[in-house]
Structure 1
């Protein structure tokens, strides 16, 4: 199992980005979380097979219809914690 840490920048809050991310991650069988950050970005931590993580990152780069994704920073790292599901952190 691998993990990616992503920060998504642009118009990504108040456009259903977290729900969009959760639905795609769950459809890929990934675990982790998505949450809004105080600086207006969205943070995503996802765990699973590399191929599925790459699909999620490609999905994040597109974003939902109302979003305008300017940049996605991706860091691949070793998992320190294992998540049971993919959730939205409020």
Structure 2
């Protein structure tokens, strides 16, 4: 049996996404999907997400981030799906 290739979603979420529980919501979604990585507020008011998993898991997270179910208001996402250079073992909220 071969290993499924690991992919990484790197996203910067723009909009009203700080102070509304967005990082905590993202952490819960990542746990449900089975992703590892991190989520962090950025000084410019955006939220940065790095999530690693299979292609299907990464796409599922991207769909969650673009859904109307997110806390706050997401105006748009800068996003990229790429091959990871570092591997994470949990999904953490950065403070």
TM-score, normalised with respect to structure 2:
0.89
For residues 47-69 of structure 1, the C-alpha deviation after alignment (integer angstroms, 9 at most, x for no partner) is 001111111111111312xx010
State how far apart, in whole Å, the 2-side matches of 1:13 and 1:56 are.
19
The CA RMSD over aligned residues, in Å, is 0.7
TM-score, normalised with respect to structure 1:
0.94
Partner of 2:3: none
Q: Computing the radius of gyration over CA atoms, which structure comes out larger, 1 or 2?
A: 2
Aligned length: 88
Which ranges of structure 1 fall in alignment gaps of 5 or more residues?
none
Partner of 2:74: 69
Residue of 3, 25, 42 corresponding to 1:20: 25
CA offset at residue 77 of structure 1?
1.4
State how far apart, in whole Å, the 1-side matches of 2:58 and 2:82 are.
12
Which ranges of structure 2 fall in alignment gaps of 5 or more residues?
1-5
Pairing 1:54–2:59 present: yes
For residues 1-49 of structure 1, the C-alpha deviation after alignment (integer angstroms, 9 at most, x for no partner) is 1001000000000000000000000111100000000000000000001
Q: Which consecutive segments of 4 or more residues in structure 1 shift more than 2 A?
A: none
Q: Which moved more, 1:74-83 or 1:30-39?
A: 74-83
